[in-house]
Amino acid sequence: MRFLVPLCVWAATSSFAGEYAVLVSGARLHIDRHEINEAKVKLYTGAGTIEMNAVQVASFEIEEWEAAAPIAVSSLPKEAARAGASPVPPSPMTLADSAAEKYGLPRQLVRSVMKVESGFQPHAVSPKGAIGLMQLMPSTAQTLGVNPHDPTENVDAGTRYLRDLLERYGGGLRHALAAYNAGPAAVEKYRGVPPYPETIDYVRRIEKEFKNTD
């Protein structure tokens, strides 16, 4: 059973075996614990920490702890087994930069899309079912021939799709971002960014993030 915890209850450090941060965008991020310091929230994950404005978080859900099944050493790669530990997965930034370089896009653009889409969280799932770091819908992932739950495949496919959209719209960033969010059909129907509040805000946020990192 999970319990919904209003954000305003937590005015000091809180920690649990695991919990979910529910963002106002609807995305749910799995975290170890969180801290609130006035207008800021710090989310702790196994890969590090994420700091954001408190108004971006709607609530927290406490996850009931369950003991994980032990991993047999024989199931790990030989190098990891010899070292006595599982291999460290690449960081979100590394995934973004590698995919950007592969498909000839600015690193900061891919990072900006990733930040707005998932908050750099590999296991983020949107209310509509979009999965992972760059929030691929299952149907899109199937079309692109990737496993959306694999961070490397997810980011590679998301970046490839973004590159294809940019080429489709002659390098028009706003058109490409709108199509990434609402679909190419909506962009073509309205001959530009569709008049959807979510899409308009999405394009604005990524453009702002991209410009701030130039």
Cα distance between residue 59 and residue 55, in whole Å: 10
Q: Are 19 and 33 in contact (CB under 8 A)?
A: yes
Kindly report the number of other CB atoms within 10 A of residue 163's CB atom. 18
Dig out the tokens for 72 from the structure.
Answer: 């047999």
Q: In what order do the strands lie in the sheet with 28-37?
A: 3-6, 57-62, 14-23, 28-37, 40-45, 48-53
Helix extents (H) in the chain? 78-83, 92-103, 107-118, 138-144, 151-168, 173-182, 184-190, 197-212
**Cα three-residue angle 143-181-63, rounded to 5 degrees:** 85
Annotation says 198 is catalytic? no
Residue tagged active-site, from 19, 79, 117, 209: 117
Range 36-55 burial, b when 16+ CB lie within 10 A, else e: beeeebebebeeeebebeee
| Most distant pair of Cα atoms in the chain: their distance | 58
Catalytic residues: 117
